[in-house]
Amino acid sequence: MEKSSPTSVKRLHINNHASKMAYSGVTITSFPVRQLPVADLWQSVDIVPAFMGEIKKSLLNKGLINPIIVVRMPREDVTEYFATNRGTLNVKGLRDFSTLPYTPIANVVWGGTNRVEAVRELGFTHIDCVIIPDFETASKIQDTQRSSYKGIKNAASEEEGSV
């Protein structure tokens, strides 16, 4: 009888000083960076398909430059947050929270949806994520991270509010 080989694990790590950068007055090292299975990440917004080629090329050539921002909290807290705040969130392409997998703890991608999709398509199984305890802090970090790309022409700049 032939033994089956174990599933291949392909990991993507932060490839620069991003973990030491300060976003919105908060240093990323204030929060844990963990290697999470891509399959355990729930993308809270729709992807921008036009951006995939550019992201894949960047990931393959430069690695992961900015961390994936993940809000990790009990599923019930996530659904309550979305139910309470959905109408006031200024987020384009926000997914229905009912698509959130039923697990006790949710890993909600709040910054990096397109990069997560790109690593999935490239066959990575794990990716470094900065774990943020709440959506307000995650939004501040994401806004500051995005502002560092203002004025740079790319596919994402064509999509207002893309992650």
Could you count the other beta carbons within 10 Å of the beta carbon of residue 124?
18
Per-residue model confidence (pLDDT) at position 124: 94
Higher pLDDT, 21 or 157: 21
Query: Is pLDDT of 89 > 90?
Result: no
Per-residue model confidence (pLDDT) at position 37: 94
- The vertex-157 CA angle with 11 and 58, nearest 5°, equals 25
The count of C-alpha atoms lying within 13 angstroms of the C-alpha of 61, restricted to the half-sphere facing its C-beta, is 6
Beta strand residue intervals within 22-61, DSSP E? 22-23, 26-27, 33-37, 42-43
Per-residue pLDDT tens digits for 33-88: 889 999 999 998 888 899 899 999 999 998 888 779 999 999 999 988 888 887 77
pTM attached to this predicted model: 0.76
Specify whether the CB–CB gap between 68 and 109 falls below 8 A: yes
Per-residue pLDDT tens digits for 134-160: 998 888 887 777 665 555 454 444 443
